[in-house]
């Protein structure tokens, strides 16, 4: 895993693409992508996990910089929108104070979608929760690897998952720590795959068949019982949700590995597009958060059946363009 692999970047790109698609607001699509889109990214992250000294400090810097930079941009966008409304006499001056307070509280609270902190309702920050979750998951797994004896590691990780899942039924704690605690399981799965060099071994057809069956069951439960959502620790059917996510991840990773061996596919533009999104996945996520807040996509709702296609294409253009711009300028890139 020392060298960059296109197939791994493509899998990360698929995860990012599914995150964007899942935010289109279409229930049927959301139920499908939520069965795997965040877990597969965490599993891939686990493939690169190494419990070395300085890891937590490095990961903290990697996650906090885009979190704060994107949060500030989101705040400025809302502030500018309010300023325009003020000029048009559609807003009151006190709203500036309210926006600033909500932005500060939202960043300090660090929740992706839930706002129930005991008896308080606090602002949420959307998809930026993912940066916090990755940091917590990395830090927790680091200390588990460092302090917990071999056979107890898996038990501790499962207990952490249960604690995060059950505590989320009572309240939602700051900094998405519960989402991070539940994410450790998927990170650990990727780490185990790395230790046992599963990506270097031949793909097992029997495993793929079992993965298809298990993912199918997870999809059935997602559509009929409600979808899994790590952002708020929602697992309607925990064993099926988790098992289905791991199965889907194995299946997609295996499929992409095979596709990478077929030159006509690996040399195609869509493949390289996904590879680009995966390589700069953090920046892609930041650009997605910005475009989501910047553009009122409901303005295109009068397009009828073409609405989703037009919005999706425009999102791809904006996100890819924003990612390219950030990566091209060194000083701006340092902020993300």
pLDDT tens digits for 23-48? 988 888 999 999 999 999 999 999 99
pLDDT at 12 > cutoff 70: yes
pTM (two decimals): 0.93
> Would residue 69 count as lying in a domain?
yes
187 lies in some domain: yes
In a domain, 295, yes or no: no
Q: Looking at the domain assignment, is residue 312 inside a domain?
A: no
Q: Which domain holds residue 55?
A: 6-273
Is residue 56 assigned to a domain? yes
- Confidence at residue 3, expressed as pLDDT on a 0 to 100 scale: 65
Q: Return the closest-CA partner of residue 173 out of 86, 103, 127, 111.
A: 111
pLDDT above 80 (res 124): yes
Structural domains of the chain, count: 1
Could you tell me the pLDDT band of residue 296, with boundaries at 50, 70 and 90?
confident
Whole-number average pLDDT of the chain: 92
The confidence score (pLDDT) of residue 257 equals 94
In a domain, 283, yes or no: no
Q: Where does the pLDDT of residue 164 fall: very low under 50, low under 70, confident under 90, or very high at 90 and above?
A: very high
> Residue 330: inside a domain, yes or no?
no
C-alpha–C-alpha distance, residues 156 and 159, integer Å:
5
SS3 label, residue 267: coil
For the residues of 275-333, what is the DSSP string, one character each? Answer: HHHHHTHHHHHHHHHHHHHH--GGGGGGGGGGHHHHHHHHHHHHHHHHHHHHHH-HHHH
Instruction: Express as a percent the part of the chain with pLDDT over 90.
Output: 78
Q: Is 98 inside any structural domain? A: yes
Within the chain, residue ranges assigned H as helices are 6-22, 27-33, 37-46, 55-87, 94-109, 129-147, 152-167, 177-195, 205-225, 238-260, 263-266, 269-279, 281-294, 307-328, 330-333
Q: Between the ranges 10-19, 118-127, 194-203, where is the mean pLDDT highest?
A: 10-19
Contact 278, 9 (CB under 8 A): yes
């Amino acid at each position: 895993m020392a060298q960059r692999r296109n197939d791994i970047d493509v899998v990360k790109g698929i995860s990012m693409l599914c995150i964007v698609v899942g935010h289109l607001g279409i229930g049927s699509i959301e139920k499908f992508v939520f069965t795997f889109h965040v877990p597969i990214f965490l599993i891939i992250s686990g493939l690169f996990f190494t419990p070395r000294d300085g890891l937590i400090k490095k990961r903290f810097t990697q996650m906090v910089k885009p979190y704060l930079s994107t949060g500030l941009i989101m705040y400025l966008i809302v502030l500018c929108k309010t300023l325009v409304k003020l000029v048009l006499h559609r807003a009151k001056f006190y709203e500036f104070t309210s926006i600033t307070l909500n932005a500060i509280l939202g960043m300090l609270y660090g929740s992706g979608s839930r706002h129930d902190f005991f008896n308080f309702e606090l602002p949420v920050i959307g998809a930026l929760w993912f940066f916090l979750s990755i940091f917590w998951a990395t830090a927790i797994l680091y200390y588990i690897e460092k302090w917990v004896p071999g056979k107890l590691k898996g038990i501790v990780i499962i207990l952490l998952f249960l604690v995060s899942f059950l505590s989320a039924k009572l309240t939602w704690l700051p900094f998405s720590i519960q989402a991070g605690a539940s994410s450790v399981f998927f990170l650990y799965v990727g780490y185990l795959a790395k230790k046992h060099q599963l990506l270097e071994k031949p793909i097992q057809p029997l495993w793929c068949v079992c993965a298809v069956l298990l993912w199918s069951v997870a999809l059935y439960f997602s559509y009929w019982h409600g979808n899994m959502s790590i952002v708020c620790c929602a697992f309607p059917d925990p064993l099926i949700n988790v098992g289905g996510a791991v199965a889907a991840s194995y299946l997609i990773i295996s499929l992409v590995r095979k596709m990478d061996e077929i030159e006509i596919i690996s040399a195609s533009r869509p493949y390289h597009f996904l590879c680009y999104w995966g390589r700069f996945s953090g920046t892609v996520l930041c650009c997605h958060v910005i475009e989501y807040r910047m553009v009122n996509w409901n303005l295109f709702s009068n397009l009828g059946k073409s609405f989703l296609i037009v919005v999706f294409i425009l999102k791809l253009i904006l996100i890819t363009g924003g990612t390219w711009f950030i990566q091209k300028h060194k000083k701006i890139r340092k902020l993300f």
